[in-house]
Amino acid sequence: MGKVEQLWRHGLSRRQALAGLVSFLASSPLLNAQRDPWPLGPHRRFLGFDEMRDVFDFEPLFRANVPLSVYDYTAHGTESEFTLYRNRDAFDWVRLIGSGGVNPSDVDTSTELFGHRMASPIMLAPTARQRDLHPDGELGMHRAATTTSTTMIVSNVSSFPFPRIADAADGPLWFQRYATRELEPNRVALDAAQEAGAQTIVVTIDQQASYYERDLHVRHLGGAPRQVSRRTRPDPPNPYRVGAGRLWYEWQLFDDLRPLCEVPMLAKGILTGAGAKKCLDHGVDGIIVSNHGGRALDYGPSSLEVLEEVVEAVGGQVPVLIDSGFRRGSDALKALALGADAVCFGRASRWGLGAFGEPGAQKVIDILNAELKQAMATAGCASVAEIDRSIVTTSFP
Ligand SMILES: Cc1cc2nc3c(=O)[nH]c(=O)nc-3n(C[C@H](O)[C@H](O)[C@H](O)COP(=O)(O)O)c2cc1C
């Protein structure tokens, strides 16, 4: 090593340069970018089941338990993930006004939807391929939902057929369908689900564009692109990088499916008042305000910020549900105050199942319900019927 290099290696200027770099990184806003808790940040060991305090605690354990591709499939959103993050940001734009005066043990979270009494307005959103998270998959999720008296929406893309999931426990189930253009496969799927006891049919219409670009950029294995799922394969059969089976959706779809449904039919993926009105025109019995958890159209709005517009357009004619970005009971309370009839949780339930199997999913639901009760008590609402617009103020941009 030459003299100049020796001087640089041991010299004051090098140490100053390193110190400068460290202090720059320490004060960088990048390190503070995540507003939600980062549960394992200060720990050198994994937390145990009894140490789970909120839903965020489950995510790192879920991540540690599954292959990276499964974690990524759950975690990511479309393209630059603007909408994925906006879904969480939106809760900062709604403030809860606490008036107190209710003991949490006196709070009644029960509610009614489509003639069915529910223990709580908290529900499980349909999410695909749950056996990738835990061998019990949707069977374990259904048992957890049943134990907690929670309504579960079973995905069209489940690891087990709907009747088998229905057999695993006796709690309420809804069935979610990605419709095909030909009517017959829809008829077969809807008949099977309704025969097995599906209380409603949810028709998802928002995933016309989905492209999990992040998957294609991951090159952990010596620079070679990691094997990607069928859904994200870089050579789709059309120029839009989305399964051709979902490219054709039009409002007429609901007219075609309505006669196949003996139970209420909901549209999932509505983000505008105009869209909600179209749904009503085409015979839909309920709306789910959703951007698919930031997995459909990037740079779209968060579902929370458009909820009131949809509720207003619907004018009480049918129930309005919501999902996307919900992680806490108080998040649910905000949506209920803005007019939602129920709130669905997607990733949160997957984190629970992936972290600890059925008991984990059960604990996630228990935590969410306890948080909702606590938040209702603090806001002065003894029942779901008492939750109204007066307990929130909003400052959506
Ligand atoms: C891994 C994953 C798989 C999903 N699969 C489906 C599905 O099969 N059908 C569907 O309608 N929505 C599906 N969704 C969307 C969810 O139903 C829901 O809209 C979304 O997860 C809500 O956002 P959250 O995860 O932030 O709670 C999926 C979401 C995730 C994260």
Domains and CATH numbers, the chain: 55-394 (3.20.20.70)
pLDDT on residue 226:
46
Query: How many CB atoms lie under 10 A from the CB of residue 229?
Result: 14
Residue 322 Cα to ligand 1 midpoint, Å, equals 12
Cβ atoms of 354 and 66 within 8 Å: the answer is yes
Q: How far is CA 161 from CA 58, 128, 384, in A?
A: 27, 12, 34
pLDDT-derived band at 249, boundaries 50, 70, 90 = confident
- Give the closest residue to 63 by CA, choosing from 258, 354, 339: 354
pLDDT grade for 17, boundaries at 50, 70 and 90: low
CA distances from 41 to 26, 28, 279 (A): 15, 17, 45
Query: Residue range 333-347: average pLDDT?
Result: 98
d(CA 49, CA 7): 53
Question: What pTM, to 2 d.p., does this model score?
Answer: 0.87
Q: Is 292 a catalytic residue?
A: yes
The lowest-confidence range among 32-36, 88-92, 125-129 is 32-36
pLDDT at 354: 98
For residue 36, the model assigns a pLDDT of 80
Which pLDDT value is given to residue 114? Answer: 97
* pLDDT > 90 fraction of the chain, expressed in percent and rounded: 72
Q: What is the pLDDT of residue 250?
A: 86
Show the tokens assigned to 66: 């599954």
- Select from 66, 295, 364 the residue to mutate for testing ligand 1; criterion: most ligand atoms less than 8 Å from CB: 295
pLDDT band at 16 (very low <50, low <70, confident <90, very high): low
The answer to whether 337 and 391 are in contact (CB under 8 A) is yes
pLDDT at 181: 86
The distance in angstroms from the start CA to the end CA of the chain is 58
Q: CA 28, CA 30: separation in Å to the nearest integer?
A: 5
Half-sphere exposure of 213 (CA within 13 A, CB side): 11
Q: Whose CA is nearest to atom 28 of ligand 1?
A: 127
The pLDDT of residue 92 is: 97
Rounded to whole angstroms, the Cα distance separating 101 from 239 reads 58
Confidence of residue 232 (pLDDT cuts 50, 70, 90): very low
Give yes or no for residue 382 CB within 6 A of ligand 1.
Answer: no
Mutate to test the pocket of ligand 1, among 85, 127, 347 (most ligand atoms within 8 A of CB): 127
